Structure 1
Amino acid sequence: MPLADLLTAERIVMLTEPGDRDRVLDAAARLLTDASPAMTAAIGAALRERESLGSTAIGHGVAIPHARSNAFSTARGAFLRLEHPIDFGARDHAPVDLVFAMSVPEHSSQQYLEILSELAERFSSDGFRDALRDAPDLDALRSRLFGKPLPTMTVRP
């Protein structure tokens, strides 16, 4: 599933305020629910519950918090780039600054696994992570996240 099917531009943000894992999960829940208070609480609780089973940090400063919920009929994603990396309990002990959160309907087990696999593969690329971290503004971040080609630089001797 292409990231564009999970995300909207409004659910991609650059967080500049320091925080902790719970604060990031709360921000992700607000983005996933388009700030609906009742749904935000439910999705936030589901993300925390999943996180309590084991860290969703996959290493190299990336976390993919996820939960199953029937709040939506389709999978949804939100992306947060953190200016102040946080401890997410990663096995490599690297603080997390790239967070892709998602909510997938309860009945979508296969889709859930496919999305997680695609995200893990995409975020395993040093170049992809570096491009996201080096994006100078939100427009560039969104473009790079959606995989649009980056301008090439001509190196002159």
Structure 2
Amino acid sequence: MPLHDLLSHARVAILDGHAIETGAPEGAPVLARVLDAAAWLLADGTDSAPIARALRDRESRASTALGEGVAVPHARIDGLDECRAAFIRLQHPVDFEAADGKPVDLVLALLVPEHDVNAQLQRLAEIADRFANPDYRAALRKARDAGHLRQLLSGSGPDFLPCAA
């Protein structure tokens, strides 16, 4: 399933520092706030707390940063019927403890059904491939608004860049 099939229109966002702080518990670390924002997008109007816990738990075991400013927080969720993704471009990069030491500004959060480990591995490989392309990352960083980001992520519009080979 292509990336654009996992992303709904409402699950693509550009967040500034204020948006991440809004509604966050006092003193919550910025990384936790980013994961909470991703969980909220992934929840599609349902309770985001279980998703946030799952993303935080996974991140606590090892960084999901791929390097070059990209992170793919992910979790398997019981009761989920199909994979789901959300994309956030952060105006203020966040430390995800990436191996390359670079802060993250491109976050693609992924949920997969609890029972479908193959789907998780396949999606993570596809995402890593796509975000390995430096031109693609640059285009996402230069996108003028969330609508333009959606076009780039869906592979439509004049600025589409294919995945890295």
With the length of structure 2 as denominator, give the TM-score of the two structures. 0.87
Q: CA deviation at 1:149?
A: 4.1
- Select the residue among 129, 142, 150 that pairs with 2:150: 142
Kept in 1, the 8 Å contact 2:70–2:107? The answer is yes
Please report how far the alpha carbon of residue 14 of structure 1 lies from its aligned counterpart in structure 2 after TM superposition: 0.4
Cα 1:55–1:151 shift into 2, 3 Å:
closer
Shift of 1:147: 1.5
**2:43 aligned to 33, 39, 43, which one?**
33
- Between 105-114 and 58-67, report the one with greater CA deviation: 105-114
Find the counterpart in structure 2 of residue 22 from structure 1. 32
For the 8 Å contact 2:4–2:155, the answer to whether it is kept is no
Q: Distance in 1 between matches of 2:44 and 2:56?
A: 18
Q: Partner residue of 2:130?
A: 122
Deviation, structure 1 residue 17: 2.0
1:82-121 alignment, distance < 5 Å: 82-121=90-129
Query: Quick one: distance in 2 between partners of 1:11 and 1:104?
Result: 15
Q: Which amino acid aligns with 1:33?
A: A
Superposition misfits of 4+ residues, deviation over 4 angstroms = none
Superposition pairs for residues 42-121 of structure 1, below 5 Å?
A: 42-121=50-129
- Between structure 1 and structure 2, the one with the greater Rg is 1
Aligned equivalents of 2:150, 2:156: Cα separation in 1: 9
Question: Partner of 1:121: helix, strand, or coil?
Answer: helix
Say if 2:152 and 2:159, in contact at 8 Å, map to a contact too.
no
69-78 or 42-51: which moved more?
69-78
Gaps of 5+ in 1: 153-157
Give secondary structure in 2 for the equivalent of 1:14: strand
* 1:49 CA displacement: 0.6
Q: TM-score, normalized by length of structure 1?
A: 0.91
Q: In structure 2, what is the Cα distance between the partners aligned to 1:124 and 1:16?
A: 24
SS at match of 1:22: helix
**Aligned residues of 2:67 and 2:102 also touching (Cα < 8 A):** yes
Contact 2:79–2:114 (8 Å) recurs in 1? no
Between stretches 87-96 and 9-18, larger displacement belongs to 9-18
Give yes or no for the alignment of 1:11 onto 2:11.
yes
Q: Percent identity among equivalent residues?
A: 49
- Size of the aligned set, in residue pairs, is 150
User: Structure 2 counterpart of 1:91, which letter?
Assistant: A
Task: Please give the root-mean-square deviation of Cα atoms over the aligned residues, in Å.
Answer: 1.4
Per-residue Cα deviation, 1:101-121 (whole angstroms, up to 9, x for no partner): 011001111111000000000
Partner of 1:155: none
